[in-house]
Structure 1
Amino acid sequence: MARAGLEVADIFRDHGAAWRAANAGHISLDQLKVMSAIERCRTAALGGHVTRCEDCAHEHIAYNSCRNRHCPKCQAGAAKAWLAAREAELLPVRYFHLVFTLPKQVVDIARTNKREIYNLLMRISADTVIKIAADPKHLGARVGITSVLHTWGSAMTHHPHVHMIVPGGGLSADGTKWIACRKNFFLSVRVLSRLYRRLILEELAKLHKAGKLHFFGDHAGLADSAAFEAMLAPLRKIDWVVYAKEPFAGPKAVLAYLSRYTHRIAISSSRLIRFDAHSVTFRAKDYRLNGARRNTTMTLATGEFIRRFLIHVLPKGQHRIRHYGFYGNGNRATNIARIRDLLGAEPPTWKEVGDKDEGDNDPCLRILALPCPCCGGRLIIKGTFEPTQQTRAPPRSTRHAA
């Protein structure tokens, strides 16, 4: 089945029911909710509104979004709103991109301990950067960090890692000056990797001792303290993959990057090529190849595609984007204003992010964010309609008089 505008929702609608029946008892409630949300997103099941174009008078029906953070169709709007809030926080300095990963043995543990391992990954990676940056031997400054958790590789396999965006410098200990790093060098990757490795292993041992890790199947034996320690021992001797990419060329490049990465999910609908009852084919990247041949295609059984998508459903309440250091939520605005004063900089005023058109404040004018499908003009909401009623429970049987 090859068609234009192929979506993950199409796969779920056509084959989700059969997959749920075949895997009954092995699907979490959170995964079921995600499937339901994606299947119903922008359909009559969620209601919607009737719009009219200001330019060509074309009337258009727009259905409501599910707003689920795992839905491919809902992430563009969420990313735009998030970026508008982040615009005023960008500083006129170079930004660096760091990536922290986990070895396979820890990734295997994370499959059944997502909340504990994901929280550990985000917290320890941030602590590592903050501690090394504060050391006078390296930078001697308090830095700011925006961390984004990704749990997938290009083939939708389980690959938890953190993408980190860090300004190239930080505040001095007394907060009286801005300390800039070298032009193309932030912190030593080797030093970061070793401290990160030590802190992760220490915290894993503490979690195991406190009984907060759970093991099943082939890993059930790791519940024993001696077996768990034996598993950790070789990890102390290998290099953990931490790397830094080239610095961004200014704040606009950071916004462009964040718009692609912050609200990304396991696979976007744009990567889908075709699907049928037996398989799904999509675009992927083979990191074993070099140059232009790195882009390739992959075909998975339809059931396996659904399974891989759902292993990336985050635990309820799990925050995927977090801020640390002088970007910490408590004093973020104060710290950023202080840094701008030290740098002698004004807040950014780029019009492409977060600006509103004239008339948007008119309570009588309700404007839809999507453009007119005919001419690209502005759509005005003329009316709304309620969601399709769904049966919540079987009807009660009528009791006959005795």
Structure 2
Amino acid sequence: MPRPKLEVADIFRAHGAAYRRQHDGHLNLTQLKVMSAIETCRTAALGGHVAACTKCGYEHIAYNSCRNRHCPKCQGSTAKGWMQARMEDLLPAEYFHVVFTLPAQIADIAYQNKAAVYGLLFKASTETLLSIAADPKHLGARIGMTSVLHTWGSAMTHHPHVHVVVPGGGLSADGTRWIRCRPGFFLPVKVLSRLFRRLFLEGLIRLHRVGKLRFFGDLVGLADPDNFAAHLAPLRKTDWVVYAKPPFGGPEAVLVYLSRYTHRVAISNHRLVSADGDTVAFRWKDYRIKRGDRMKVMRLPTDEFIRRFLIHVLPPGFHRIRHAGFLANGIRRDRIETIRRLLNAEPAPGQTSDEGATDDFDDPNTLQPCPKCGGTMIVIETFPRGQTPKSRAPPREEAA
């Protein structure tokens, strides 16, 4: 994919300093670090190296990346490495995609209590799938899953939801059989929705009871237990959105999907259309339109664009990709081997991950061939943060 003409980094470099001055005292340290990382990503501020072709002499400068998980420019290479490691987990089974979404009244609470409520979203959705799948009335098996948290809608508004990718089957209780789900059908959505609603609300009440929730601004009244109970009461009677998409076309399609979703940030650079001193325009998908072209262009004041980007910055150390069931990190390898034996299936050629492979584009050992003649590129100079190379090669803010 060609490099976009406009990037989030360009907007932050041009308007970030003014935004920080205007909102001094209202941005947390993590948000400030994200802005700084994106602004300096692949610039001389982070150092880099100069590579030259041994055949034609072509040279170029490669600046280091910030590696921040909220940086649109860095997440592509990170996703590739993560996906390479997941290849050997694929099974010869149907894969399903289930989405758990929080109601707007809960999303407001989540925004002020990100770590606690996002964590509860993971826990409640996972327990829902594990419990219903284990029920003999449904699948009667122990399943595995990979869950990915997204906190945004297409317009970058706050819309917390979890995407869950699940193999269509699981291990019997005694671990001696693989139990497949019915072709094209995983678990009943209404049953999932009701249990998810109950588990989440029970968990949220527990968090409130032990003082794990904080409320500010318009929500400050929810600190009172009676007000909080009244706020939640209508949600016990509404349908919560749990959406089960049709099964993937096969394990390969799962990899394609995950490569798009696992390391996505609130907006990619390729969705940006234009930016001037006052506004930023970007493409977004209007899901209210059932038929026809959903893609539109939204124009926001620059300050509002930056604000929307920053509301999706996650708390430090919070894991937005999680594995559960037989795909849990501690037991995944043994369980996958057991399931393969039960299915009499071996990894497909090329499905085993290469532990020596790397997608670290800041590593001089991963240089690509010369773009001019295809010759071998070698590093002729490295330079530390804040310094410029001695080479006269024209600067190129890209990874080697």
- List per-residue Cα deviations over 1:244-298 (Å, max 9, x = no partner): 1010111110000011100000000000010011000000011111233211110
Matched, 1:381 2:398: no
Q: Which amino acid aligns with 1:383?
A: E
Q: Which amino acid aligns with 1:345?
A: A
- List per-residue Cα deviations over 1:111-146 (Å, max 9, x = no partner): 110000000001110110000000000000000010
SS of the residue 2:284 aligns to? strand
Q: Give the % identical residues.
A: 64
Q: Paired residue for 2:248?
A: 248
Q: Paired residue for 2:63?
A: 63
Listed as ranges, the matches of 1:151-166 within 5 Å are: 151-166=151-166
Which stretch of the first structure deviates more once superposed, 282-291 or 94-103? 282-291
**Contact 2:197–2:240 (8 Å) recurs in 1:** yes
Q: Relative contact order: is structure 1 or structure 2 higher (C-alpha 8 Å, sep ≥ 6)?
A: 2
**Counterparts of 2:158 and 2:369, CA distance in 1:** 37
SS of the residue 1:66 aligns to? coil
Q: Which amino acid aligns with 1:194?
A: R
**Counterparts of 1:234 and 1:301, CA distance in 2:** 35
**Contact 1:368–1:379 (8 Å) recurs in 2:** no
User: Residue 323 and residue 376 in structure 1: after superposition, are their counterparts in 2 closer, same or farther (change >3 A)?
Assistant: farther
Q: Paired residue for 2:210?
A: 210
Listed as ranges, the matches of 1:123-162 within 5 Å are: 123-162=123-162
Q: Which amino acid aligns with 2:206?
A: K
Q: Paired residue for 2:100?
A: 100
User: Residue 150 and residue 54 in structure 1: after superposition, are their counterparts in 2 closer, same or farther (change >3 A)?
Assistant: farther
**Counterparts of 1:286 and 1:300, CA distance in 2:** 16
User: Residue 85 and residue 278 in structure 1: after superposition, are their counterparts in 2 closer, same or farther (change >3 A)?
Assistant: same
Matched, 1:223 2:237: no
Please report how far the alpha carbon of residue 39 of structure 1 lies from its aligned counterpart in structure 2 after TM superposition.
0.3
Q: Paired residue for 1:270?
A: 270
Q: Which amino acid aligns with 2:295?
A: N
TM-score where L is the length of structure 1:
0.91
TM-score where L is the length of structure 2:
0.92
Q: Paired residue for 1:31?
A: 31
CA RMSD of superposed structures (Å): 2.0
SS of the residue 2:366 aligns to? strand
Question: Which structure 2 segments of 5+ residues have no match?
Answer: 388-400
**Counterparts of 2:269 and 2:150, CA distance in 1:** 17
User: Residue 294 and residue 86 in structure 1: after superposition, are their counterparts in 2 closer, same or farther (change >3 A)?
Assistant: same
**Contact 2:272–2:281 (8 Å) recurs in 1:** yes
**Counterparts of 2:163 and 2:234, CA distance in 1:** 26
Please report how far the alpha carbon of residue 355 of structure 1 lies from its aligned counterpart in structure 2 after TM superposition.
8.8
Which stretch of the first structure deviates more once superposed, 3-12 or 89-98? 3-12
Q: Paired residue for 1:91?
A: 91
Please report how far the alpha carbon of residue 347 of structure 1 lies from its aligned counterpart in structure 2 after TM superposition.
1.4
Please report how far the alpha carbon of residue 351 of structure 1 lies from its aligned counterpart in structure 2 after TM superposition.
7.3
Please report how far the alpha carbon of residue 60 of structure 1 lies from its aligned counterpart in structure 2 after TM superposition.
1.1
**Contact 1:50–1:381 (8 Å) recurs in 2:** yes
**Counterparts of 1:220 and 1:99, CA distance in 2:** 30
Which stretch of the first structure deviates more once superposed, 247-256 or 51-60? 51-60
Please report how far the alpha carbon of residue 234 of structure 1 lies from its aligned counterpart in structure 2 after TM superposition.
0.4
**Counterparts of 2:12 and 2:69, CA distance in 1:** 16
